[in-house]
Chains A and B, each alone.
Chain A
Amino acid sequence: MTARTVLQPADITRALTRISHEILESNRGGENLIILGIPTRGVALAHRIGAILESIEPGSGRVGELDVTMYRDDLAGQPTRAPARTHIPAGGIDGTTVVLVDDVLYSGRTIRAALDALGDHGRPRAVRLAVLVDRGHRELPIRADFVGKNLPTSADERIRVRLTEIDGIEEVTIES
């Protein structure tokens, strides 16, 4: 197995900063914006994006967590998953623009589950998707609005995102 680093810590920070600006730009400011991270690493990324938004436009960085375990379509085929916490910021999501945040966009099934989960919490005005890495191979008609880096991969390669908060180190690698 060989691992190749594709994003260094500085690359990750730069990508998140750019995504944050793009979010504000597409939302025409920071109003009615909610950033929801998808566990596990999407939550850490959401909090970073929230902090950047806050620094640009105070009050715009409302962050929550959205667990999608109970909405997955592949529960039967895998060992039992322990669900993670869901936390929706006070005030709820009705009428807001929700930006879902995940580390890697691949088949699109996690995002499909997230859209279902979101629907059970209320009715946002719009839902956007931000990912650190888009590696292709989509199985559903889903695309990201904000992408840190597009990484064309083959299906047998593995993308690993490691973040300081969770893994103690900061890098994105491709293993094959």
Chain B
Amino acid sequence: MRHLLSTRDLSRDEAIQILDVAEDMADVANREVKKLPTLRGKTVINLFFEDSTRTRTSFELAAKRLSADLVNFSAKGSSVSKGESLKDTAQTLAAVGADAVVIRHASSGAPQTLATSGWIDAAVLNAGDGTHEHPTQALLDAFTMRRRLHGAASRGKSLDGLTVTIVGDILHSRVARSNVWLLDTLGATVRLVAPATLLPADISTWPVTAGFDLDDAVDADPDVVMMLRIQAERMHAAFFPNAREYSRQWGLGDERLARLRPDTMVMHPGPMNRGLEISANAADSSRSTVLEQVANGVSVRMAVLYLLLSGSAEL
């Protein structure tokens, strides 16, 4: 792997390899010394053009557990005009010898632009770009599902036969996109549920079924229900009337929660709007994987950093 820009580019074998390596990385977290010398001497830059304490911290821990030198480069609020700063920043990072750049950017495609521009030679790791993709989030979600299903025997396993329902603002969700491609690659069946305004205009080419009715989806007995964060500003752009109506139609409330199987996983990429897209009971129930997702994030990001930064560059 040279870069990780999108889950769409991952083959099934590559995806399973990342999850398997993440299993090894997860073991490290249980040891007395939670650190590996593997990436000693490598420099990883966290280049965040958008705030995200969670994702940034997760990558920071991952890099440090692999003994890489990590520098946080907060590009937000820089006085340079936006357009110039991506190129200028990239060239600056190249000059200081970055081996990998973890980039979070409000513009879809910015990581790909960085990877293909020739401005910098480093491995580029997409930590969320606009409304495009967030590949490590999807990988950690898949890792979490696999662990719940197979426990210690997870290595080598796919998600064949798993049914996953993703609910909410699909249109603006990079998490949803990365999950759709990865889950399909790993053999899961994906169903999307959202108001028609929050589904992309044409998803005929996506490997999913889509519908508007969450109750139908709950009654279809999914193995996983993944709730997406709904952003308040969407209602001002007429995507839906108000929070109350959204919550009633597309929120995972207590009544819908009760209709799910006891072992149905309830996932959320965080941060949650409790009481809006997910009730407190749903978020805190034993079905919820929210905290596992956070812990697994570090293992998955260690795996990706390892696979990107060890080994000679592919020709």
Contacts and interface: CB of A to CB of B under 8 A. Distances in A.
Interface of A: 67, 70-71, 75-86, 116, 119-122
A76 B38 contact: no
B37 A75 contact: no
B155 interface: yes
Given A75-B310, A79-B311, A85-B24, A70 B36 contact: yes
B307 interface: yes
Given A76-B310, A122-B32, A71 B37 contact: yes
A70 B28 CA distance: 11
Contacts of B27: 86
Nearest to A71: B37
Nearest to B23: A85
Contacts of A71: 36-38
Interface of B: 1, 17, 20-21, 24, 27, 31-33, 35-38, 66, 155, 306-307, 310-312, 314
A80 B32 contact: no
5 contacts: A70-B38, A70-B306, A71-B37, A85-B155, A120-B35
B311 A80 contact: yes
Chain A interface, >50% SS class: loop
A82 B37 CA distance: 16
Given A67-B24, A85-B155, A86-B24, A80 B36 contact: no
A75 B36 contact: no
A76 B306 CA distance: 11
A82 B17 contact: yes
A82 B312 contact: no
Contacts of A82: 17, 20-21
A81 B17 CA distance: 11
Contacts of B20: 82
Main secondary structure of the interface of B (DSSP, over half): loop
Given A71-B36, A75-B311, 11 more contacts: A70-B37, A70-B38, A70-B306, A75-B38, A76-B310, A76-B312, A79-B311, A82-B17, A84-B24, A119-B33, A120-B35
Contacts of B21: 82-83
A67 B314 CA distance: 24
Contacts of A85: 24, 155
Q: Which of B20, B35, B307, B311 has the most CB of A within 10 A?
A: B311
B300 to A, nearest CB: 14
Contact of B312 (A79, A83, A120, A121): A79
Nearest to A86: B27
- In the complex, the 7 A-B pairs of residues with the closest C-beta atoms, listed nearest first: A80-B311, A120-B33, A75-B310, A70-B38, A70-B36, A83-B24, A79-B311
A76 B311 contact: yes
Nearest to B302: A70
Nearest to A80: B311
A81 B262 CA distance: 39
Contact of A80 (B35, B37, B66, B307): B307
Contacts of A76: 310-312
A71 B31 CA distance: 15
Nearest to B21: A83
Contacts of B31: 120-121
Contacts of A79: 311-312, 314
B16 to A, nearest CB: 11
B311 A78 contact: yes
Given A82-B17, A83-B24, A116 B311 contact: no
Contacts of A70: 24, 36-38, 66, 306
Given A86-B27, A121-B32, A81 B311 contact: yes
A67 B306 CA distance: 15
Contacts of B35: 120
A123 B38 CA distance: 20
Contacts of A120: 31-33, 35-36
B179 to A, nearest CB: 24
B307 to A, nearest CB: 6
B67 to A, nearest CB: 10
A164 B35 CA distance: 35
B149 to A, nearest CB: 19
A67 B1 CA distance: 22
A16 B2 CA distance: 43
B107 to A, nearest CB: 30
A76 B309 CA distance: 8
A52 B24 CA distance: 29
Nearest to B32: A122
A86 B33 CA distance: 14
